[in-house]
Structure 1
Amino acid sequence: MPPEKRKPVVRKTTTRKPVTRKKKSKPFPVQWKIAIAGLLLILLSPFYYGYILKGFVGTWRWVKDWGQDPNYRTYESFNIKIPKKYTIHGIDVSYYQGKINWQKVKEMKEDDVGIRFAFIKATEGILQVDPYFQRNWREAPKAGIVCGAYHFFRPKRDGKTQAKFFLQVVNIEKGDLPPVVDIETLDGVSPLRMRLELSDFLTYVEMKTKVRPIIYTGLKFYEDNLEGKLDDYPLWIAHYYQPKLRLDKSRWKFWQHSDKAKINGIGHVVDFNAFNGDSTALASMLVH
């Protein structure tokens, strides 16, 4: 077909979509990478958590010692916390402390705290005599420390027999603290049986010495077995590591508030006690 006879070709116009080019992300600064890596290392390090824990413990100690009760603070010399509201302090000892240099005990002091009195174990049950009793009973008063003797009570044994045994070993004299009976276990007997035997012990000792004995026991043992019973006798209560004894102040005379004191002249840790009263009150308790 001749060119002039050909129909013109109509071409469709196509609209091209604009090409969207992806923006290239900027490279992360090297300094930031180093900073993040360092932060991760710190957070994952046990030393970091140790540091945090140390800070927490330090804060807790501050809150416990000062924030809650400023009258209960640590005395570095004695290595324990001591309630500050008491002016007369003392210890109690047995063969466990070994040979004691009582002069060094008497000379030890920090601020207003020094050793004014000592309770010394004498006997246990119906046969056992503390091997250091006679030495302690002789040497402590020489150093100027007021002393009292105690018997570790065994509820399975006859109370009166234990009392006789105790008084055979201990010679209670003018100027001594009252004798003490230490009761802290039932030894498998009922609370009623324990109280009957204990009452026999107390009655016999008071009859022979004309002095009312002191009952020593732990706070829980007292609450479970003695509260409301034998209330005519003075109490010496063990209740450790607390700023306050959880017992009406009119009920007790001595408080054993720690069993971990370090005392000059003694090679082992010692129980530490506070007296509920002043010097006049302590003097009135002594044997006359």
Structure 2
Amino acid sequence: MRQVRKPVKRKTAKSTARKKKTDNKWSLRIRLIVAAMLLILLSPLYYGYVLKPFSATWQWIKDIGEDPEFPTYSSYDIRIPRKYGIHGIDVSYAQGKIDWQKVKAMEEDDVRIQFAFIKATEGITLVDPYFQRNWREAPKAGIICGAYHYFHPRKSGKQQARFFLQTASFETGDLPMIADVETLDGLPPERMRRELKSFLSHIEKKTGTKPIIYTGLSFYRDYLKDYFDEYKLWIAHYYKPELKAGANTNWYFWQLSDKAKVSGINHPVDFNVFKGDSTAFRRLIYH
């Protein structure tokens, strides 16, 4: 009698591939788990013997490649061009309560704070809440100071000047008063310039000294250039090795960073340089 063989269930190519895929999936998971555990166990060694030396090497490469005329000053945590010898800051309520003795004592590679511009007023009603304290304490620490007013073109220039002068006294030993001009307030440029001229004229008439105009480089080029050339300028332009404002621009101060760290101040602060030497700086001080 012929024996009947039971049919054999054959594996299809599809089922075989599915099994291999499942096996590979579990194998990958196991490898990932093992790798993660090894990473956790070895991370202190990895940081100590690999990452840390690499980080130091990278910093060394950065230092070697840094422009020697525009170096980073570690204590101030910003880059400062070497060719300027007189440095300063400008402050307002944003910096909080300042220890001016610590500000004065800070120094790195002959860079130290010698002057400060201090916000006094804004518009026709706002007095900076820290102005009187800063105006009193900074000179006690031996820092030369100048007061500034944040100018609003929508308000009368003459009224703003009167308000400024009622708040900030201008005395022997001070730097000229400053008009901070940064906005059109939605007005035509001609209106802004008219009110600004009124503000500047009144300050000059009452103090006998021309004020300084503070503004950003773009704002100056767009709205002020060729209209106020007789006034000294304080120009903001950040993180650059030099201020390219044009050879004929009458700038004296350059605000080169808004991120400086200064001892005695718990918040980032604007950092400035004076264009000239100590003799030129002394000539600016009111006598």
TM-score normalised according to structure 2 size: 0.78
Q: Secondary structure at the match of 1:72?
A: coil
Question: What residue number does 2:222 align with?
Answer: 224
After superposition, the Cα gap between the structure-2 partners of 1:77 and 1:232, relative to the gap in structure 1 and judged at 3 Å, is same
* Aligned mate of 1:108, from 96, 106, 115: 106
Q: 1:65: how far off?
A: 2.7
Q: 1:103: how far off?
A: 0.3
Deviations, residues 119-171 of structure 1 (Å, cap 9, x unaligned): 00000000000000000000000000000000000011110000000000011
Question: What residue number does 2:15 align with?
Answer: none
Question: What residue number does 2:242 align with?
Answer: 244
Larger Rg: 1
Unaligned runs of 5+ in 1: 1-49
Alignment of 1:169-208 (within 5 A): 169-208=167-206
Deviations, residues 14-36 of structure 1 (Å, cap 9, x unaligned): xxxxxxxxxxxxxxxxxxxxxxx
Alignment of 1:134-283 (within 5 A): 134-248=132-246, 251-283=250-282
Question: What residue number does 1:43 align with?
Answer: none
After superposition, the Cα gap between the structure-2 partners of 1:125 and 1:60, relative to the gap in structure 1 and judged at 3 Å, is farther
Unaligned runs of 5+ in 2: 1-50
Q: Secondary structure at the match of 1:160?
A: helix
Measure the CA separation in 2 of the matches of 1:109 and 1:258.
17
Question: What residue number does 2:88 align with?
Answer: 90
Question: What residue number does 1:44 align with?
Answer: none
What root-mean-square deviation, in Å, do the aligned CA atoms of Structure 1 and Structure 2 show?
2.3
Question: What residue number does 1:65 align with?
Answer: 66
Measure the CA separation in 1 of the matches of 2:129 and 2:171.
21
- Aligned length in residues: 237
After superposition, the Cα gap between the structure-2 partners of 1:196 and 1:61, relative to the gap in structure 1 and judged at 3 Å, is farther
Q: Secondary structure at the match of 2:71?
A: strand
Question: What residue number does 1:9 align with?
Answer: none
After superposition, the Cα gap between the structure-2 partners of 1:155 and 1:64, relative to the gap in structure 1 and judged at 3 Å, is farther
After superposition, the Cα gap between the structure-2 partners of 1:275 and 1:80, relative to the gap in structure 1 and judged at 3 Å, is same
Measure the CA separation in 2 of the matches of 1:61 and 1:249.
32
TM-score normalised according to structure 1 size: 0.78
Question: What residue number does 1:131 align with?
Answer: 129
Task: Indicate the structure with greater helix content.
Answer: 2
Q: Secondary structure at the match of 2:204?
A: helix
